[in-house]
Amino acid sequence: MPDRQIIALGGGGDTPDQSALLWSYVLDVVGKGRPRMLYVPTAIGDSESGIVSFYDRFARRVEASHLLTFPYPPDDLRGLILSQDAICVSGGNTANMLAIWQVHGIDLLLREAWESGILLWGASAGMICWFEAGVTDSFGPRLAGLDCLGFLPGSACPHYDGEELRRPRYHELVAGGFPEGIAADDGVAVRYSGPEIAEIVSCRPGAAAYRVTREGEQELESRSLG
């Protein structure tokens, strides 16, 4: 059975060099000399600048392509998604992204891709979308809980140390019945094999991931990429 892998990033590093360590880690996990990698910028409205940034970052190291949903997805949507070695989901508005994916069946194709062994990964919206639920600013800066795809169990919160409201709001939501789960600081990547955490890595000194429950939070063991 293919290894179903997801890399959930809390956010990028503080510097380009730190973030480059995360991108190299992702490519090491893919494990191919020049893998096929699809960028999915739905959460940023298919932003041209976001797409250009992705190609600037990865085109010298991967066979890069991207998926547009405006004005509509390509005819061979399934073929595009399932022909990849890795799929990168952008940050942005998670709620809008999931609504568009559901309308066009992209959510179902991403599950098929994951179950066939294609690596799924991303930061922020590209982190939380894979879980049962996530903490999002899709509805405004107050932060809210959002039902997500459910590939991975529990909930997730990105930018745990990067945005002032993230930690207290996540604890507030969990205390009120929101699913317990995982929080990741900026610069931290949590790699899953199936539903289980396989490894946690960090490109920032002191950055970590945490198990958040109604009893509190527990820092999880991680490896520094620095």
Residue 194 DSSP SS3:
coil
Q: How far apart are CA 126 and CA 26, in angstroms?
A: 14
Q: Tell whether the model's pLDDT for residue 103 goes beyond 90.
A: yes
> Sorting pLDDT into bands at 50, 70 and 90, what band is 74?
very high
Closest CA to 127 of 154, 99, 100, 102: 154
Continuous segment of H or E residues that includes residue 122:
strand 119-123
Q: Tell whether the model's pLDDT for residue 178 goes beyond 90.
A: yes
The residue ranges of every structural domain in the chain are: 5-217
Q: Tell whether the model's pLDDT for residue 36 goes beyond 80.
A: yes
Task: Give the per-residue pLDDT at 87.
Answer: 98
Residues belonging to the chain: 226
Task: Give the per-residue pLDDT at 5.
Answer: 98
Task: Give the per-residue pLDDT at 2.
Answer: 86
Q: How far apart are CA 207 and CA 63, in angstroms?
A: 31
Task: Give me the mean pLDDT over the 34-56 stretch.
Answer: 98
Specify the amino acid at residue 61.
R
Q: Which of 90, 124, 155, 202 is catalytic?
A: 124
CA-based max dimension of the chain: 49
What's phi and psi for 81, nearest 5 deg? -70, -45
Answer yes or no: 104 catalytic.
Answer: no
What's phi and psi for 90, nearest 5 deg? -75, 170
How do residues 124-145 score in pLDDT, each as one tens digit? 999 999 999 999 999 998 999 9
Task: Give the per-residue pLDDT at 1.
Answer: 75
CATH architecture for segment(s) 5-217: 3-Layer(aba) Sandwich (3.40)
Q: What is the overall mean pLDDT for the chain? A: 97
Q: Tell whether the model's pLDDT for residue 189 goes beyond 80.
A: yes
Describe the crossing of helices 94-104 and 106-115 by its angle, rounded to 10 degrees. Answer: 90
pTM, 2 dp: 0.97
Answer yes or no: 66 catalytic.
Answer: no
Counting residues of the chain whose pLDDT is more than 70, the rounded percentage is 100
Per the structure block, which two tokens stand in for 38?
Answer: 């699809």
Task: Give me the mean pLDDT over the 21-29 stretch.
Answer: 97
Cα torsion for 18, 34, 152, 10, to the nearest 10°?
A: 10
Q: Which of 138, 155, 159, 202 is catalytic?
A: 159
